[in-house]
Chains A and B, each alone.
Chain A
Amino acid sequence: MKNSIVLLVFILSVHLSFANKYESAMGSAIEKLYAANDQETYVTAATTFERIGDAEKDQWLPYYYAGLGYIWTSNTINDGNKIDEYLDQAQSLMDKAEKLSPNNDEIVTLQGYIYMMKVVVDPPTRGPEFSGLAMQEFGRAVGMNADNPRALLLLGRMKMGTDQFFGNDLSESCGMISKASQMFDDQKTKSKLDPVWGKEMAEMFVNECKSN
């Protein structure tokens, strides 16, 4: 009997470690993604998430982070064709994530982020279409979850770009940015794997607002 209990405990701990394997792998991959600083480290992080996603099959977060990794990769290079390739990659991952978790404000935000980055390649050609699409997605994400600081931050940044372009007053868009920046401090996450990124970016945008 005693033996059985020992065994049972052992089995349970094994099961737990299986469950924890996902969390620990994700946790360390997320750390690596946040620490990445060049093309190679971003791609390494993104491919790690792809592997986890393909092995798990029913988790949206690995695909979400893989997509984020490729978006950030595209931000480290200048070659337009290559940027598009990374963004296409991010797009296909976002499609997978969307299938696993439809109507998810974090995924919608990232979809907008992809559109936002697409503009960078060729602003005169893509600006009119993709900046509209990006705004639409960010707006949709804010509508789904008003407490999502990333959605509000990126919406504010897009609006700021438009306002700068039209020479409008920036108080509204900068207001959105500073509100989003405060929201980062009291983010509520359901699990420690949920997205929390964006604070540094928010600080950067807040400074941009100050210098204007």
Chain B
Amino acid sequence: MKRLVFIHLFYAVSHFTFGQYVISGNVKDEKGNALFGVNIYIKDTYDGASSDLNGNFYFKSSVSGKQTIVTSYIGYKLIETEVNLVGDLIGQQLELQEEINKIDGVTISAGAFEASDKKKSVILRTFDVVTTAGATADITGVMNTLPGTQTVGEEGKLFVRGGAGHEVKTFINGLLVAEPYGQTPQNIPSRFRFNPFLFKGAFFSTGGYSAEYGQALSSILRLDTYDLPARSQTDISIMSVGADVSHTIKKDNTSLYGQVQYTDLSAYFSLVPQKYEWNDAPKSLNSTVHFKQKFKSAGHIQAYLNYDRSRMKVNQPLPGKIYETGLFDIDNDNFYSNLAVQNSINDRLSYRGGVSFSANKNEILMGEGFSSKSNIRSSHAKLVFDHDASEHVFLRFGAEWIFNDHKEIIVENENNSPLNFDIDNHLATTFAEGDVYFSNALMARIGLRYEYNSLIDNKYIAPRASLAYKLNKNSQFSFAYGKFSQLPVKEYLYWSNMLEPEKATHYIFNYQYNKTGRIFRAELYYKKYEQLVTKEFIYNQSPLLKSDGYGEAKGFELFWRDSKTFKAIDYWVSYSYLDAERKYDIFPAPVMPYYASNHNLSVVYKHFIAQLKSQIGWTYSFASGRPYTDPNTGSLNSEMTKSYNDLSINYSYLLKPNMIIHASLSNVLGFRNIYGYQYNYEPNESGEYESIPIEPQAKRFFMIGFFLTISKDKNANMLNNL
């Protein structure tokens, strides 16, 4: 009892009688700037103060003896100082060191465009996909308004920095998508298969990207379905070209999404005259299922399934032929699925990975007895570990395996026996990469990627390196270098397994200025190609293929986005200059490839008018001429088309908070855009090769749709999803 009393007394006395020492001083950062709002206190007591605007602090302690003084401030390293409080501590000079911030600090911006709503600096917002005029809710459409891309109107795919379409690879949740675009007849642009509404973030790299990715010489596009939806809801869209119904069920940490979309262009084609004669206008059935379960530990598992079936039959005009047309009959089935997991093992180590599988069945019938039946299967398995190794080092390492099986039977005409192709390739890769933060202003990324292709029995080691330096709060420089390799496309592999992988080396220098609501980027690059496949036709024999092609692409790009200067107006401008030449395919000497254009410009404008509950937008795109070969001249790719011009507009009207009416019209001003020319393979009687221009099958495209969202929250509409 006595002892207890004594202890209590001691406590009481020590708290209320002793102490009362003054602790005062000043807090600065490493550069000597006064810090305001720093919390300085004695551990486990209420005694303390925060620094004022001049960094000064002053408080009285109620304790004495051995104590710990804590200095704490967000973004700075915590300091704990042991003191023996037996008298006043006046004039303490404290210096706080900035904490390395791996998320919002210096980042590699060379070649990288991020679309996200989470991060503070993003080039695109996710709902730009549906609100950008001319993009027609197509993910590639909006990416095509960014610098580094070239307008190739007849393909509708992404073409990056003088590279071919197949040099861009698409990933969903980090897993490969083998066939991201729908199948279309030649000269008719294809669309991205996947509904943009499901993607929360996108990462588009125009070069110099991480060692985590490979088998893409030019670019990667990574889409992420991340967050759980806000609520259960049903979305219904009725469009002039089809209808779409989706339903989301959300319960706690689980969500299930199902969607069916049916598109049929026959009604539209019967109203608006088309250049081509359609026996069957494009029809497609596209359905998606997405399941997501969030773990308590902040990890998640998700499954994504997509089935896309399309059919169309068209007769296209042929050069030099008046009574004959070229038949193109397509029947395509594509199934894509992936299962992705992400979870943490401990505070510093986490893993992510999964498997994807796709199957594509394609049947094409063309005039003169030509037909092709193909079955393409592709599987991808991947596992990556992310390790926060230390305050300065972040490591990423992993392995992946991709299996491709291409089967195709081609009948050239009734006289020849069918050609039967079957190629299998296993790609095994492993990679390791480290992000080293020297300070909050300087970081380096160094990585190495190893690849092995079984089909051509080839091993390859690809080094990657980037450096980023932050000049000040708003601007930074970055530099990226990397070697990239890619297995030649199947059309070459069908004929030879003696080829080397095609190779590219990137050098990118980037400056980025970023302040709330405004972004400016300037980028300079040089890309070198090696071992491109060349093809030589030999009469009555298989084509002769060699890996002796080469090429280069260089240029600079500018980007400016501003949503701040003018109220309710958001606009961006992209300009790309490209100088590309390559010796590839049938070209015996370096030429500018047909998909390249020297100048590309996009201006995107969006204006929300609250009083009218409307958003209006327009996009102007310009591309200088593209090369084509006129056999009458005898030289290759020596002719240039006229430049490309398009002004597209769109209009969205919020009828009610959960009802949107959207309309869009392309090429308002009716420019005649010619992408190139198709020549007859033989000259006419006067020795001239006749041609027809390759151009859009109608000058303009018009779309109107009605979008309805049904949920408990009456204000929810489809734009909330993004």
Contacts and interface: CB of A to CB of B under 8 A. Distances in A.
- 7 A-B pairs with the lowest CB-CB distances in the bound complex, closest first: A47-B50, A80-B516, A43-B37, A47-B39, A129-B117, A14-B12, A51-B41
B77 interface: no
A68 interface: no
Interface of A: 4, 7, 11, 14-15, 21, 25, 40, 43-44, 47-48, 50-52, 54-55, 80-81, 84-85, 88-89, 92, 121-122, 124-126, 128-129, 132-133, 135-136, 139, 159, 162, 164-168
Given A88-B74, A128-B720, A135-B715, 12 more contacts: A40-B52, A50-B72, A54-B41, A80-B516, A81-B473, A84-B120, A122-B517, A125-B125, A125-B563, A128-B117, A159-B715, A162-B715
B708 to A, nearest CB: 15
Interface string B49-62: 11011000000000
A170 B432 CA distance: 57
A136 B516 contact: no
Contacts of A164: 610
Given A40-B53, A51-B39, A159-B715, A167 B720 contact: no
Nearest to A29: B46
A90 to B, nearest CB: 10
Interface string B65-77: 0000010101100
B48 A51 contact: yes
B657 interface: yes
Given A40-B52, A166-B654, A122 B563 contact: yes
A153 B527 CA distance: 58
Contacts of B657: 162, 166, 168
Given A128-B720, A166-B613, A50 B125 contact: no
A52 B8 contact: no
Nearest to A66: B39
B8 A11 contact: yes
Contacts of B49: 44, 47
B127 A128 contact: yes
Nearest to A50: B39
Interface string B652-695: 00101100000000000000000000000000000000000000
Interface of B: 1, 5, 8, 11-12, 36-37, 39, 41, 43-50, 52-53, 70, 72, 74-75, 117, 120, 122, 125, 127, 230-231, 473, 516-517, 563-564, 568, 570, 608, 610-611, 613, 654, 656-657, 713, 715-716, 719-720, 722
A70 to B, nearest CB: 9
A196 B253 CA distance: 32
Nearest to B474: A81
A55 B36 contact: no
A14 B11 contact: yes
A47 B46 contact: no
B46 A126 contact: no
A92 B75 CA distance: 12
A165 B563 contact: no
B571 to A, nearest CB: 11
Contacts of B46: 21, 25, 48, 51-52, 55
A167 B611 contact: yes
Q: Is the interface of B mostly helix, strand, loop or mixed?
A: loop
Contacts of A124: 517, 563, 568, 570, 608
Contacts of A81: 473, 516
A85 B75 contact: yes
B6 to A, nearest CB: 10
A139 to B, nearest CB: 8
B11 A135 contact: no
A146 to B, nearest CB: 16
B74 A85 contact: yes
A177 B93 CA distance: 49
Given A50-B39, A136-B230, A165-B610, A121 B516 contact: yes
Nearest to A22: B46
A14 to B, nearest CB: 5
B720 A132 contact: yes
Contacts of B44: 54-55
Contacts of B568: 124
Contacts of B473: 81
Given A47-B39, A166-B657, A128 B715 contact: no
B472 to A, nearest CB: 12
A80 B570 CA distance: 18
B720 A55 contact: no
Nearest to B47: A51
A72 to B, nearest CB: 13
Contacts of A139: 713
A89 B230 contact: no
Given A43-B36, A135-B715, A125 B517 contact: yes
Contact of B613 (A50, A135, A167): A167
A170 B568 CA distance: 22
Contacts of B719: 128
Contact of A47 (B37, B45, B120, B713): B37
A132 B117 contact: no
A14 B334 CA distance: 77
B211 to A, nearest CB: 31
Contacts of B517: 122, 124-125
A143 B608 CA distance: 33
B713 A135 contact: yes
Given A14-B8, A47-B39, A132 B230 contact: yes
Nearest to B612: A167
Contacts of A122: 516-517, 563-564
Nearest to B7: A11
Interface centre among B52, B53, B517, B716 (most CB of A within 10 A): B517
Contacts of B122: 125
A44 B125 CA distance: 37
Nearest to A121: B516
B20 to A, nearest CB: 16
Contacts of B120: 84
12 contacts: A4-B1, A7-B5, A51-B41, A52-B46, A54-B43, A81-B473, A81-B516, A92-B74, A129-B722, A132-B716, A135-B715, A136-B230
Contacts of A50: 39, 72
Nearest to B125: A125
B195 to A, nearest CB: 18
A85 B11 CA distance: 39
Contacts of B75: 85
A88 B5 CA distance: 46
Contacts of A55: 44-46
A129 B517 CA distance: 16
A92 B122 CA distance: 23
Contacts of A51: 39, 41, 45-48
B562 to A, nearest CB: 11
Contacts of A135: 713, 715
B50 A43 contact: yes
A88 B53 CA distance: 20
A168 B39 CA distance: 46
